[in-house]
Amino acid sequence: MSFSVTILGCSAALPTANRFPSAQLVSIRNRRYLVDCGEGAQMQLCRYGFSALQVNHVFISHLHGDHMFGLFGLISTMSMMGRRSPLHIYAPCGMQQILDDHLRYFGEGVSYSVEVHELCCERQSIILEDKHITVSTFPLYHRVPTCGFLFCEKTPPRNIFKEAIAKYSLPLCAIIAIKNGSDYTLPDGEVIPNEQLTYQPYAPRTYAYCSDTIACREVALAVQGADLLYHEATFADDMRDFAINRGHATARQAAQLARDAGVKRLIIGHFSSRYRSVDALVAEAQQVFPNTCAAKDGATFFLNQDLPFAD
């Protein structure tokens, strides 16, 4: 089943000519989840072929402008496009007051409700769940309360081998029971284990999003084994002390965390505007964790099992 991440913006606080501020669109089974909403996020959605009306859930990692200034224009645009369904915003404490103040002055005529779910950034917790996925928060370590987000697929129902249906002449009632986990008993009393009759169609996948944070053991534990990790890499490692003082990570530190966490693939982003090219940051990270790629506005990454990044 489809599971992908599209980069809408990968710049740090100052946008550049080819990098918008932080925003991503996570797509799972044709449902769209916006993660951070930097300035211009609605323009990027349009540019890369997505409708703002497809977004029902917005996750804001922290209340710094480069991660949320795009939210207010997005809310207005959704109203002008005729939205009627609620928009759910998940953000650290303070978001409700910010949004109330904005809507007091600029929210006249908004055609739908905006529901804010304020997050505790001090512990891991599930904030959204349906039959296919869970979305969880975990603490990040920045200058203000900050959350990371984990998108985890649930284990899918098992499929039955078509050959087994024909081989054992399975009736419909037996097929339903087998898909629900039952063994099958033949007329002569022989029991065919469920594992011989069914297979798991795909392994559940996990995407971890780490916006502004120092790289530390606690974060590595939270993202352990993720299929795809996005981790900020605002600076090169020659600015390590400055990065730590500002609550940020270097490319090398992000790679070390990815290695220690046993993730399969790493995307680095949130690049400082001082880097016109990020090739040196990617090379620095790849020395530690080879399966590293740079975020790039408009790039889409698919969560396919055990596939390296393309060159």
Q: Which domain holds residue 243?
A: 3-156+202-302
* Mean pLDDT value across the chain: 94
The residue assigned the tokens 């300035």 is 39
Q: Which residue out of 36, 66, 237, 297 is catalytically annotated?
A: 66
pTM: 0.91
Domain contains 163: yes
Which of 58-62, 83-87, 180-184, 263-267 bottoms out in mean pLDDT, i.e. has the lowest?
Answer: 180-184
Confidence class for position 304, pLDDT limits 50, 70, 90: confident
Residue 309 resides in a domain: no
The Cα–Cα gap between 98 and 60 comes to: 13
Residue 112, in any domain of the structure:
yes
Classify residue 310: in a domain, yes or no: no
Q: Indicate the pairing of strand 265-269 with strand 292-294.
A: parallel
Dihedrals phi, psi of 206, to nearest 5 degrees:
-135, 135
Residues 170 and 126 in one domain: no
Q: Are residues 165 and 271 in the same domain?
A: no
Looking at 199, 230, 259, the residue that finishes a domain is 199
CA distance 261 to 208: 11
More confident residue, 74 or 176: 74
**How many folded domains does the chain comprise?**
2
**DSSP 8-state assignment for residue 144:** S
| Within a domain: 311 | no
With cut-offs at 50, 70 and 90, classify the pLDDT of residue 164: confident
pLDDT at position 311 is 38
37 and 66 together in one domain: yes
Q: Kindly state whether residues 62 and 164 are assigned to the same domain.
A: no
End-of-domain residue from the set 199, 230, 252? 199
Torsion of CA 120, 122, 128, 133, to 10 degrees: 170
Residues in the chain: 311
pLDDT at 307 over 70: no
CB within 8 A of 182, min separation 6: which ones?
194
CB atoms within 10 A of CB 34: 27
Res 306 pLDDT > 80: no
b/e map 53-87, b = 16+ CB within 10 Å:
bebebbbbbbbbebbbebbbbbbbbbbeeebeeeb
Residues 53 and 68 in one domain: yes
Do both 164 and 181 map to the same domain? yes
66 included as an active-site residue: yes
Q: Are residues 264 and 181 in the same domain?
A: no
Does residue 166 share a domain with residue 138? no
Assess whether 53 and 179 both reside in one domain.
Answer: no
Helices (H) and strands (E) in the chain, counts: 10, 18
Sheet of 23-28, strand order:
114-119, 87-92, 55-59, 31-37, 23-28, 3-9, 300-302
Residue 8 and residue 119 in one domain: yes
Amino acid letter at 128?
L
Identify the pLDDT of residue 33: 98
Least Cα distance to 12 among 21, 24, 1, 3 occurs for 21
Domain CATH for 152 = 3.60.15.10
Q: Residue 201's pLDDT band (boundaries 50, 70, 90)?
A: confident
- Based on the fold, state whether residues 135 and 189 are members of the same structural domain: no
Clarify whether residues 21 and 100 are in a common domain.
yes
Q: Among 140, 171, 199, which residue terminates a domain?
A: 199
Residue at 307 is within a domain: no
Least confident of 2-6, 109-113, 284-288: 109-113
Q: Are strands 125-129 and 133-141 parallel, antiparallel or unpaired?
A: antiparallel
